[in-house]
Amino acid sequence: MSPSVEKTLLEALSLPEDARVDLATALLESVDHDPPDEGAEEAWSSEATRRLGEVRPGAVKPNPWEEAERLIFDPSDDGR
């Protein structure tokens, strides 16, 4: 981050919360972003439903967050 951007950030962080929300919203709206993939929401909903259908009857045992976090962020840690 450049010094001028850091200075701007510090100034923005000193604003009242409602002004920070307005600023964040304006900044996010100013960024070009691709529209969501057509059908992505439906696909994720179907996937979540499928996974829940495996967890409820016990076919799949979910990992506690602490274990999942370790596996995600430190894949070399084999848990021993």
Q: Same domain for 25 and 4?
A: yes
Tell me if 55 is assigned to some domain.
yes
Tally of domains in the chain: 2
pLDDT-based confidence at residue 75 (cuts at 50, 70, 90): confident
* Ramachandran area for residue 16 (φ above 0: left; ψ -120 to 50: alpha; else beta): beta
Q: pLDDT tens digits, residue range 6-65?
A: 999 999 999 999 999 999 999 999 987 777 788 999 999 999 999 999 999 999 999 999
Structure tokens, 32:
């070009």
Task: Check: pTM over 0.85? Answer yes or no.
Answer: no
Residue 14 covered by a domain: yes
For residue 34, tell me if it sits in a domain: no
Write down the pLDDT at residue 32: 79
Q: Is the pLDDT of residue 80 over 70?
A: no
Which of 10, 38, 12, 7 is CA-nearest to residue 24? Answer: 12
Q: Residue 20 belongs to what domain range? A: 1-29
The answer to whether 15 and 23 have CB atoms below 8 angstroms apart is yes
The CA distance from 20 to 24, in Å, is 6
Each residue's pLDDT tens digit, 49-72: 999 999 999 999 999 999 999 999
- Do residues 44 and 20 share a domain? no
Task: Report the distance separating Cα 18 and Cα 43, nearest Å.
Answer: 35
